Amino acid sequence: MIADLSLPFMQNAVLAALLAAVCCGLIGTLVVANRMVFLAGGAAHAAYGGVGLAYFLALPVLPVTVGFTVVAALAMAAITLRRIEDTDTVIGVLWAAGMAFGIILLDLTPGYKPDLMSYLFGSIITVPTADLYALAGLDVVLLAATLRYYNGFVAMAFDREFAAVRGVPVGLLHCLLTALAAVSVVLLIRVAGLILVIALLSVAPSLAVRRAASLGWAMVWAAALNVVFCLSGLVLAYQFNLTSGAAIIAVAAGVFFISLAPGLARKRYG
């Protein structure tokens, strides 16, 4: 196993796992704390519209998809910021509209048509080195944004109205967080696949926020848990010749359910 780490694709897989773990620990914790998981999901699916647009205009896919997704996410953020009660409906409509837009544009594109699904479902074993640089850049941006606006993010998650009264730029932070979540999801899906991204974004942060003393520690714990899930999942996948993403999710889900067990036992017998 150790000897096999010299293989370039294994090194890339381990690096991708570490970078994705840090990214999901940071943005996942912020998204969970601000109750924006549905918003992040909507942005991720609106990304299909960007893929369609890139093929229709014969432009490079990744920049167009990122740009399109950020615009769609900011539109969702702007609408949800003003009319909180309609949040679910607006996100649901943009979620569906983004995907439909992408598929129609692909239908209208002459010549070779890529399978839209395969484009957005990556595999951690076949990560190209260029994507690793993009992920590392994303980690740096996320870390910088978190350090710069940490107190504002915590205040916004805790009590949005009070934060606004104190002069915290709530509107700006809401849009920034939505845009960061959208970019993260698009980049991560290319690397890790949609299902693995959802697992990394939700399982570790939700375990961490219920136990950590502060949001900052929750980010550290979520990132550390993600590293453990990814590395042990990769080892299992290698040893038993399993699909890497599924093995990682199996480890994460196993830990999640084991962590629930004491609470369930207390409820039944307590």
Binding track over 160-199 against another protein, x by CB under 8 A: -xxxxxxxxx------------------------------
> Residues 218, 237, 249, 250: which binds another protein (CB under 8 A)?
218
Helix, strand, or coil (residue 11): helix
Shortest Å, Cβ 149 to another protein? 5
Nearer to another protein, 115 or 161 (CB): 161
| Residue 125 burial (10 A CB sphere; 0-12, 13-18, 19+) | middle
CA 20 distance to own-chain centroid: 9
By CB under 8 A, the residues from 47 to 106 that bind another protein are none
- Give me 7's structure tokens: 């293989």
> Residues 104, 214, 235, 260: which binds another protein (CB under 8 A)?
214
- Give me 163's structure tokens: 């934060």
Q: How many CA atoms lie within 13 A of 30 on its CB side?
A: 30
Q: How many CB atoms lie within 10 A of CB 168?
A: 19
Selected range binding another protein among 89-97, 115-123, 159-167, 257-265, rule: CB under 8 A: 159-167
> Residues 26, 33, 44, 237: which binds another protein (CB under 8 A)?
33
Nearer to another protein, 1 or 84 (CB): 84
Per DSSP, 242 falls in state -
Residue in this structure with the two tokens 């949609």, named with its chain if needed:
194
Residues making contact with another protein (CB under 8 A): 32-33, 146-152, 154-155, 157-159, 161-169, 206, 208-218
